Amino acid sequence: MALSIDLAGRVALVTGGARGIGRGITEVLLDAGATVVTCGRSEAEPPAGATHRQCDVREAESVDALVAGIVADHGRLDIVVNNAGGAPYASAADASPRFHDKIVGLNLMAPLLVSQAANRVMQHQETGGTIVNISSVSADRPSPGTAAYGAAKAGLDALTGSLAQEWGPRVRVNAVDVGLVRTADTADHYGGDATVAAIERTIPLGRMADLAEIGRVVAFLASDLASYVSGASVACHGGGEQPVFLYIAQSGQSNREGERL
């Protein structure tokens, strides 16, 4: 019997699910048969087949209204993907307390608020539910220039394990620690295709992830195929980042060999 991810009959919420990585997740969940609702602070056009609601996931009242609306429309909530997040570059020495508060609020406190609201529904459903937190490789390594973001994602991974223990067996909670992902803005963000290609050469799999690859990991964790997976932080980074000293050493060796030739 072939294995397949079947989310037919499941209702999913993807925060920030109309753009970027969230959009890729939404598309995969739709392909797997789920009914998907996306949300964001402003109006947006989600992938065909999904619906979108305005919500500031940092505000408890807004989150409660969002979840109540989904349950009113669909009768249930089976899957939550806490995807909304991110941070602009800012020196930790110079960024204001308000800036750091906003970054931690979006990347750590917002997923907690959404998860709490979802859990109150899922605990009373016969089939429970599942929550997937979109974290980052920044949770496990220094994050210069986005220090508050890295700290928040480390907190999100810790939160994932704690919620899995508190809310099981009815609700499973997992995280995906995402590495570099190609989006429509990747080349602009890194300064051009040549720079992106150079970065990709440092990744063991030789390239950044595409959006669907992140979505498929999320879909697996949300599905019955992962029925005994809870409290896990799953790395999705193409093999991880090569140590800088090793990359420099290898580059130097290549240059020396070129000189000998």
Active site residues: 149
The 3-class SS string of the chain reads CCCCCCCCCCEEEEECCCCHHHHHHHHHHHHCCCEEEEEECCCCCCCCCCEEEECCCCCHHHHHHHHHHHHHHHCCCCEEEECCCCCCCCCCCCCCHHHHHHHHHHHHHHHHHHHHHHHHHHCCCCCCEEEEEEEEHHHCCCCCCCHHHHHHHHHHHHHHHHHHHHHCCCEEEEEEEECCECCCCHHHHHCCHHHHHHHHCCCCCCCCECHHHHHHHHHHHHCHHHCCCCCCEEEECCCCCCCHHHHHHHHHHHHHHHHHC
Task: Give me 112's structure tokens.
Answer: 């907690």
